[in-house]
Amino acid sequence: MDQPVPSSAGAAATLAERSPARGASGATRRRVLIVEDEPGLAEVLSLHLAAAGFETGVCHDGLSALYELERTAPSLVLLDLHLPQVSGFRLIQLLKQRSDAPRIPVMVITALSFPEAEEAVRAGADDFITKPFLPDEVVTRVERLLDRVR
């Protein structure tokens, strides 16, 4: 079971090693990096995505997410906009500027107003969902986004 990675002040927390990237059938599993500063919400998302067959990783701040994105290339980033250390808006900019890595779709999860969520899409996010939401809705939207960008 995935466990959230606690962030530490002034240092990037490393993401705990997850299960192998291949399922029992040998097919490559899709990996979602959850970047959410609320540990309980991150855990709920991780559990629901794992139940749907995704491999998950969790970061609780923008600096940890940057570190993890340098180490691995997830299939999708599920991103809160209000994060400690590096904002979600800045993470979107940095991800979209990378020319040395495959394009990684970004779905924003935010409690911000609709216009601010649209601003995240203009900044480069591929989709957004506003809080509160049903975790199963997030799973469905993640699956649709990944199908769309294949």
CA distance 132 to 147: 24
What is the rounded CA–CA span in Å between residue 73 and residue 100? 11
Bridge partners of 35, per DSSP, are 59, 79
Kindly state the average pLDDT of the residues 12-21: 32
Angle between helices 39-51 and 135-149 (to 10 degrees): 60
In a domain, 35, yes or no: yes
Q: How many domains does the chain have?
A: 1
Does a structural domain hold residue 141?
yes
Residue 51 lies in a domain: yes
Q: Is residue 58 part of a domain?
A: yes
Rounded to an integer, the average pLDDT of 127-148 is 93
Q: Is the pLDDT of residue 46 over 90?
A: yes
Predicted TM-score (pTM) of the model is 0.79
The answer on pLDDT for 7 being more than 90 is: no
User: Which CATH number does the domain housing residue 110 bear?
Assistant: 3.40.50.2300
Please spell the DSSP secondary structure of 76-126, one letter per residue.
EEEEESS-SSS-HHHHHHHHHH-SSS----EEEEESS-HHHHHHHHHHT-S
Could you identify the residue written with the tokens 């020319």? 99
Complete edge-to-edge strand list for the sheet that includes strand 55-59: 55-59, 31-35, 76-80, 106-110, 127-130
pLDDT at residue 20 is higher than 70: no
pLDDT at residue 11 tops 70: no
Q: Is 10 part of any domain?
A: no
78 located within any domain: yes
Establish if 17 belongs to a structural domain: no
Range of the domain at 103: 31-149
The verdict on residue 103 lying in a domain is yes
pLDDT at 45 over 90: yes
- The secondary structure of residue 58, as a DSSP letter, is E
